[in-house]
Amino acid sequence: MNRMDTSVTPLRVGLLGYGLAGSVFHAPLIATTPGLALDTVVTSDPERQKRARAAGGPGTGEVRTLATADELFDDADRLDLVVVATPNRTHVELTRRALEAGLPVVVDKPLAPTAAEARELAALAEDRGLLLAPFQNRRWDNDFLTLRSLLAEDALGEVHRFESRFERWRPRPKGGWRESGDPAEVGGLLYDLGSHLVDQALTLFGPAASVYAESDVRRAGAGADDDTFIALTHDNGVRSHLWMSATAAQLGPRFRVLGSRAAYVKSGLDPQEAALREGARPAEGMPWGVEPEFAWGTLGALDEVRTVPTLDGDYPAFYDAVAVALHEGTPPPVTAHEAAAVLQVLETARSFTRKA
């Protein structure tokens, strides 16, 4: 990804929400992207406001904080881009308000509860001539980038099955809207981790012809799915088996991809989220998303395997592409129609959910 010329006047960004998504992912990436400047953060929490005011990066001055979205939209002319990083139930309303105010929008996943609502937002953005980009950052995970490169090289032969997992061991629910059983909250692992797993599968292997799922609520006190499996058959015949769980006492491999000549197996998680949580920030010319050699995956068949260097993860590439799209009119890095295709799969999978 080519980064913006630093001499370009930065576009002013308003960030709605400063919880996990806003503070760990969006604010640091916006603040370190040439061509963008974090101007305003909306959060009603005084402690979060305090942290947000210092989130703009060195030499940029204090970030303005507001308590409500209404205040931001009342002063919409000040901004060039709005980022929606609020709880899932608010994504559609806030995205619609931003587009109707004439502002391009980045929206944390999931874009909407349903594919129909995602398509409505896509149509509104197209009608207004505005960018609408769902934040599917895990297209820039190190393992995903490595797998895409191997597929481009035909290193596996014809792929038969793509296995992908996001598994955790969290036997006690934390509570909050993410684990609520209220459908309006759009909680549960299906719409959280499943948004990433399905997006990666569709990006790699194309549209799904059929969907099967096993979706359970296993932990006492949890209201939303916490242990889900999805099986996709793609139009091209590839089968994707996708697991998301909070109840995995031992974790399976992140990827196991089976082909006619070789398999690729990769364990562990991309290091970028952990680095961002610890306060690290991507910087021009400095290593970012680098994985140690002991964590690299393997390629081959049975005993004839070799270690494959993992490409560096690159979350900054998402906002680099957003900045280029806004400055030069190029397509966004992820489209609302792609998000709608993911949501169509998630809606079908949700119908399989079984209560404990």
62 burial (CB, 10 Å; 0-12 / 13-18 / 19+) is: exposed
Q: Domain 11-137+318-334: which CATH class?
A: alpha beta
Whole-prediction pTM value? 0.94
Q: Determine phi and psi for 41, rounding to 5 degrees.
A: -125, 135
Q: Are strands 227-234 and 239-245 parallel, antiparallel or unpaired?
A: antiparallel
Burial 12-39 (b: 16+ CB within 10 A, else e): ebbbbbbeebbbbbbbbbbbbbbbbbbb
Per-residue pLDDT of the chain (356 residues; tens, 9 = 90+): 456 665 678 999 999 999 999 999 999 999 999 999 999 999 999 999 999 999 987 667 899 999 999 999 999 999 999 999 999 999 999 999 999 999 999 999 999 999 999 999 999 999 999 999 999 999 999 999 999 999 999 999 999 999 999 999 999 998 888 888 888 899 999 999 999 999 999 999 999 999 999 999 999 988 999 999 999 999 999 999 999 999 999 999 999 999 999 999 999 999 999 999 999 999 888 999 999 999 999 999 999 999 999 999 999 999 999 999 999 999 999 999 999 999 999 999 998 877 55
Type of residue at 99? L
Task: Please tell me the distance from the alpha carbon of residue 24 to that of residue 42, in angstroms, as a whole number.
Answer: 15
Homologous superfamily (CATH) for 139-314+343-354: Dihydrodipicolinate Reductase; domain 2 (3.30.360.10)
Annotated domain spans of the chain: 11-137+318-334, 139-314+343-354
DSSP characters over 55-68 = TT-TTS-PPEEES-
